Structure formats: C-alpha cells, structure tokens
Amino acid sequence: MTNSDTSQTIRGLNELLRGELSALDTYDQALAVLTDDPAVKDDLRECRASHSDRVERLRMEIVERGGQPDSESGAWGVFAKAIEGSAATFGWKMAVMALEAGEDHGVKEYDHLMPSLDGAARDILSIAVYPQQLRTHKIMSALKHRQGDSSPSA
C-alpha cells in the first residue's frame, strides 16, 4: 500500500467519522426533546449506541494507519439542527423524518466512500460497521412508518 492509498483511506475514514459524530449529536438532541414513549426511546438509544460504537471503531482504524481522527461533526449537522427545531416547531413526525433522512444519508455516504478505501479498511467496514448503519437505518425507517399508527408526545 502506498502513502497515497493510506492518505486517501485516512481521509475517507475521517469523512465517515465526521458523519458518525454528527449522528451522535443528532440522537442526543432527539433523545432530549422527543417522546416519552419508552419503546421509541429504546429505539433511539439503540441507534445512538450503534453510532457511538462506530465512532470508536473508525477512530481506531484511523490511528492504526497513522492518521489523526477528526473531532468535528460533518454533514449530519444539518439533520441535528432539523431535529432541534422540528421537534419543538413541527412535532414528532418531522423529527423522525429528519432522523430517518440522516440515516439514509449515512448509508449513501458509506456506499460512496467504501470503494475508495484500502482493502483492509473496506473489509473491516463491510463486516463490522456498514451492517450497523443498515440496521439503524432500518430502525428509523420502521419508526417513521409506525408514526402514522400512533402519536407519541414530543
């Protein structure tokens, strides 16, 4: 592997890390303002914990390659702001839609960046990280579709 390959992989891993950091921020805000429904809170906590695990894994991969993990969040920041405003202004449905959109963005980001990573990073992400992203997306999609069946309080 060349220095260029390593640098490209570190950049890609850091981009994914920034997205995961933003996801943590988003879920923290959602948990602070959304519903009192215990089942919904459990779903949100599960998604947040999954993103937290991914942050640690991505940081480890970056350090192992000699890189410096980023500490600032990325594109999900837009979704975090949407959560903060939408839960209070537009209610539960808009907040859940924003969370699901953030998860969808995460899937697309992994799909876009994984091919540019070195083989070892791709293998690790495809086994230990990407399936978690798909799971949290599925949880939020299901929650979005369930929201029409009930009206959790904000």
Cβ-contact 138, 145 below 8 angstroms: no
pLDDT at res. 33: 76
Which stretches of the chain are assigned E, i.e. beta strand? none
What does the radius of gyration of the chain's CA atoms come to, in whole angstroms? 16
Give mean pLDDT, residues 148-153: 52
Specify the long-range contacts of residues 119-125, CB closer than 8 Å, at least 24 apart: 121/9, 121/12, 121/13, 121/61, 121/65, 124/57, 124/61, 125/16
Q: What is the pLDDT of residue 75?
A: 57
Residue whose pair of structure tokens reads 């876009």 in the numeric block: 112
Q: What is the pLDDT of residues 127-138, one digit of tens each?
A: 999 999 999 999
Q: Phi, psi at residue 114, to the nearest 5°? A: -55, -40
Domains defined for the chain, CATH in brackets: 3-146 (1.20.1260.10)
